């Protein structure tokens, strides 16, 4: 059995894909009304409409009912991960705990695996990340992800792989974490460029310079550059910066157009930008794209001023 804590779009999609791959899956939802709706309809119309739950997916209201399988996937927003672990002693870490979120914790300035290890010392911890949209995974479209763990991840890789969900394993946890986190910030910037009508050429330039920032910070924190060139970095960056399915990209488009964005939608890149600015300042790393995204999100700078500052930076060798 595989447990999944979190019945948002991604958690539900993973439940569907793993169940279709022959696994028994237990899915926990925090909202009792959502549990009731999913049990009655066999669907998660709130987060992933139109997708039927396979018979080997059961939905639970008590988190303790999903914590005793071969692995527990923690499919919740990055900024909620630490609090969820604090509130759930049932998550005892006897089985691998796999973070299925992207970002940097605002309190500790650490990634998901470090947050897990800090609260469950000795528990096998990993992160599942990479270029993926929940709807694609749930519909059985081919998807490749990165599974990063400092332990022996071969059995976990086998457990979580299906005919349509291919996992690649790495021991560069920091690189995988930062790739998934930082690409959301760049996606906001890319969406802002498109929303402001600056064109695809400007987006390509922005993505390239944003990727350079990702590598600079990751290497400064001990990651390997080649990890950022893989699925969890470059692959995820391309997907998130070029599709309206991305919440971060859509949020950026709204910024570029000067429009309000639905406050109920989680945009991980906003919190990540705030955390990364602090992290980069502490390391003396220059991250102009991230700095501008943070300033725009906080309303500290006008869009035209942000564009002007980026375009007026000193000319130098690439």
Reported as a pLDDT band with limits 50, 70 and 90, residue 288 is: very high
pLDDT 10s digits, 88-119? 999 999 999 999 999 999 999 999 999 999 99
Residue 151's pLDDT band (cuts 50, 70, 90)? confident
Residue spans of the domains in the chain: they are 2-171, 181-311
Local confidence band at 308 (pLDDT 50, 70, 90 cut-offs): confident
Taking all residues of the chain, what is their mean pLDDT, rounded to a whole number?
95
Contact residues for 314 (Cβ-Cβ < 8 A; gap 6+)? none
Measure Cα distances from 19 to 36, 129, 258, 261 in Å. Answer: 20, 19, 42, 34
pLDDT one-digit tens code per residue, 178-209 = 999 999 999 999 999 999 999 999 999 999 99
Residue 140 pLDDT greater than 70, yes or no = yes
Told to judge if 264 belongs to the known catalytic residues of this protein, a careful annotator would answer: no
Q: What's the rounded mean pLDDT across residues 239-264?
A: 96
Render pLDDT for 3-43 as a digit per residue (tens, 0 to 9). 999 999 999 999 999 999 999 999 999 999 999 999 999 99
* Residue 65 scores a pLDDT above 70: yes
Would the pLDDT of 315 be above 60? no
Q: pLDDT-based confidence at 306, cuts 50/70/90?
A: confident
From the list 183, 257, 264, 283, the catalytic residue is 183
Whether the predicted pLDDT of 73 surpasses 70: yes
* Start-end of H helices in the chain: 9-20, 32-41, 78-86, 112-119, 134-138, 154-160, 173-195, 200-220, 225-228, 236-242, 247-257, 268-283, 288-297, 303-311
Residue 313 above 70 pLDDT?
no
Options 3.40.640.10, 1.10.1040.10, 1.10.3210.10, 1.20.1260.10; CATH of 181-311: 1.10.1040.10
Say what percent of the chain tops pLDDT 90: 93
> What is residue 310's predicted lDDT score, i.e. its pLDDT?
78
Confirm whether 2-171 and 181-311 share one CATH topology.
Answer: no
**CATH superfamily of this structure's domain 2-171:** NAD(P)-binding Rossmann-like Domain (3.40.50.720)
CB 26 within 8 A of CB 1: yes
Q: Band of the pLDDT at 314, cuts 50, 70, 90?
A: low
Q: Determine the pLDDT at residue 317.
A: 65
Give the per-residue pLDDT at 44: 97
């Amino acid at each position: 059995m595989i447990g999944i804590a979190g019945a948002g779009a991604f958690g539900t999609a993973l439940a569907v894909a793993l169940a279709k791959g022959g696994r028994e899956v237990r899915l926990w939802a925090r909202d009792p009304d959502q549990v009731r709706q999913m049990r009655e309809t066999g669907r998660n119309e709130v987060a992933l409409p139109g997708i039927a739950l396979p018979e080997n997916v059961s939905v639970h209201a008590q988190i303790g009912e999903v914590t005793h399988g071969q692995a527990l996937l923690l499919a919740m927003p990055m900024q909620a991960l630490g609090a969820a672990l604090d509130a759930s002693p049932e998550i005892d870490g006897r089985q691998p705990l796999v973070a299925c979120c992207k970002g940097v914790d605002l309190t500790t300035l650490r990634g998901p695996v470090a947050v897990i290890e800090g609260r469950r010392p000795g528990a096998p911890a990993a992160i599942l990340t990479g270029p993926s949209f929940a709807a694609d995974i749930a519909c059985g479209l081919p998807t490749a992800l990165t599974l990063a763990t400092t332990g022996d991840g071969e059995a976990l890789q086998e457990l979580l792989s299906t005919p349509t969900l291919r996992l690649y394993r790495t021991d560069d946890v920091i690189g995988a974490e930062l790739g998934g986190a930082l690409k959301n910030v760049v996606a906001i910037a890319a969406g802002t460029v498109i929303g402001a009508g600056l064109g695809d050429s400007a987006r390509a330039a922005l993505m390239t310079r944003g990727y350079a920032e990702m590598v600079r910070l990751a290497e400064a924190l001990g990651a390997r550059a080649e990890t950022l060139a893989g699925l969890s970095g470059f692959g995820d960056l391309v997907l998130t910066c070029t599709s309206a399915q991305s919440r971060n990209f859509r949020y950026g488009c709204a910024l570029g157009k000067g429009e309000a964005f639905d406050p109920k939608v989680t945009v991980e890149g906003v919190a990540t930008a705030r955390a990364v600015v602090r992290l980069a300042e502490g390391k003396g790393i220059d991250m102009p794209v991230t700095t501008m995204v943070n300033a725009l999100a906080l309303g500290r700078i006008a869009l035209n001023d942000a564009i002007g500052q980026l375009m007026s930076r000193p000319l130098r060798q690439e």
